[in-house]
Amino acid sequence: MDEPPGVQNERTSLAWVRTALGFAACALLAGRLAVVREAGWAVGAAIAAAVLAVGVLGWSHDRYRRAARRLQRERSVDFGLPALGLTVAVVAIGLLALLLIAL
């Protein structure tokens, strides 16, 4: 079964949107923990997660548009380096969240 062109691009974009929603949820949880435990540094974690959520959402939208244009021109779609950077940021925020929960 052949998929229509652009379906993979849309699925990838939706996956990044889900990642951004996950960061937004982490930001809310970190903010709640900051209030409950009165930990000042947890506010920084909440802000970092919120900024990252907005950044991932914006990058996802931009990536979708650029990839759609490249697919229309039948050119290669390769955005590996920005995706690697976001993956490193995801892991860093995840580790920070684990540290916040452990304390």
* Model confidence band, residue 5 (pLDDT cutoffs 50, 70, 90): low
Interior/surface letters 65-97, b for 16+ CB within 10 angstroms, e for the rest:
eebbeeeeeeeeeeeeeeeeebeebbeebeebb
Distance CA 26, CA 33 (A): 10
CB 24 within 8 A of CB 40: no
pLDDT tens digit sequence for 10-69? 888 898 899 899 889 988 988 888 888 877 777 888 888 899 899 889 988 888 888 888
Instruction: Give the residue, 102 or 58, on which the prediction is more confident.
Output: 58
Query: Residue 54: its pLDDT value, please?
Result: 93
Structure token pair of residue 21: 């929603």
What's this model's pTM, rounded to 2 decimal places? 0.71
